[in-house]
Each structure stands twice: as C-alpha cells, then as structure tokens.
Amino acid sequence: DDESDFDEEYFTRTYQPLSNLPTPPPSCRDSIASLSPRSLTEQDELLESALLGPAVHLVNLVPPTASLATPSVSTVHEILTRANLPSETVALAVCILDSLNSKFSHNWRLSCPLACLEGTSAPARHARPHIDAVCPEVIVLASLIVAVKFLEDYQEPTHHYASNWGNDLWTCEQINVTERCIMESLGYRIMPLWDRQLIEDALADMQRAGRQANL
C-alpha cells in the first residue's frame, strides 16, 4: 500500500519549497554575459565601441522562435565591424528585422540548408545536423545584405559577404536562403521601410541600446 509507505515525519524534515531553491539569473541578450568575449580586454573594447548599440539592438530583433541558440552580440559586432556600413544602412536592417512576420521563423527553419563545418570530428560529421546548429546571427547578416542591396547599385557576390562579413561562419546557400526568407516575409517590399521617421527611430533605438548595455 503506497499510503502506508509514506513517511510523513521524513517528508516534513526534508521537504524544501521551490521558492527556497536557488533561482538562475534571468537571461538577457544584451547582458555582459551574453557578449562571450575572449578576454577582458576585448570586453572593454566592445563596451566602448560605437557599434555596441547597433549590435545589441540587432540581436534583440532576431525572432526568438527562429532558433534555440542565443545570438551573440560579439558575433554581430564583428559582422558590423567587418562590413563598415553607414549607420543609416544598419538602421534599415533594423527596420527589416523589426518587420518580419510571424511566419518567418517557421519558414526559415524549414528552408535553411544544414551544413557541417570543416574541421569537425568524424562522429560529428556523420551525426544528423539540426537547424539549431546554424548560428542565428546569419539572420542579422542577411538583413544587412538586403539593406545594402536595396541602397547600393553595385552588389557583391554572396561569397564576398560570407567571407568578408560573415568570416565563413555560414555557407553561401545558407545566406541566400535566409535573404529569400526575409524578402518573402516582407512581401518583397523594402521601400516602405526606407522612411525618414522609421530610420531616425531606428538610429535612436540603437543609441539607447548602447547606453543601456553600458549601465
């Protein structure tokens, strides 16, 4: 009989309410912990960078349902540093990410090709890849590429963006598919986002994100 085996005295002595258990700190995408710097020096440089605000804001706009992996502020900061884009172009990328519809994440997860990185061990290469193994910062990279392609007449080939901006973290096919998913989500309409008020608001939001990250 289960009831006869229940030791009420032992339960009373050992029971600990959940409220007394240690609670992990809340996760914050723009916290210092999420920056994952390789050294304290790099962390200081990142916090002092003018691109910190844009990096934090872009990371916060990555749809949370797109990936179980948390996008890295330091990775996006590196992309912005390599791309060296005008602030208005980055602001347009902000508007693009902010305008993605609810279907984007599902479409991207189903469409984005999976690829094993070179240099991985044999068991890892033979393991079945998963979409959450694709670093979600590619969504930020693709939004920047879409913004550049809209604003500039001359367009570089995808391998240029993959190598020079993305540091070869993603394949050209992954970048192209992510671009396509973004454009489909926006109905292939970028012009409405290239609005003075929207761009000014995005610039202000990026500055605000930088100030908050340094608090």
Give yes or no for residue 55 having a pLDDT over 50. Answer: yes
Contact 171, 162 (CB under 8 A): yes
Name the region of 36 (left: φ>0; alpha: ψ -120 to 50; beta: rest).
left
Q: Residue 155's pLDDT band (boundaries 50, 70, 90)?
A: confident
- Mean pLDDT, rounded, for 146-153: 95
* Residue 178 burial by Cβ neighbours in a 10 Å radius (0-12, 13-18, 19+): buried
| Predicted TM-score of the model (pTM) | 0.76
The answer to whether residue 26 scores a pLDDT higher than 60 is: no
Amino acid at 146: V
Distance CA 80, CA 143 (A): 12
C-alpha span between 105 and 158 (Å, rounded): 22
How much is the average pLDDT of 133-150? 97
pLDDT at 215: 72
User: What pLDDT is recorded for position 47?
Assistant: 75
Predicted confidence band at 153 (pLDDT cuts at 50, 70, 90)? confident
Phi/psi of residue 176, nearest 5 degrees: -60, -45
Q: What is the pLDDT of residues 89-111, one digit of tens each?
A: 999 999 999 999 999 999 999 99
Find the range with the poorest average confidence among 15-19, 60-64, 71-75, 86-90.
15-19
160-208 confidence digits (pLDDT tens): 999 999 999 999 999 999 999 999 999 999 999 999 999 999 999 999 9
DSSP 72: P
Residues 43 and 37: beta-carbon distance below 8 Å: yes
Domains of the chain plus CATH, in order, are 2-213 (1.10.472)
Question: Residue 8: which pLDDT band, with cuts at 50, 70 and 90?
Answer: low
Q: What is the mean pLDDT of the chain?
A: 83
Q: Side-chain half-sphere of 25: how many Cα atoms within 13 Å?
A: 7
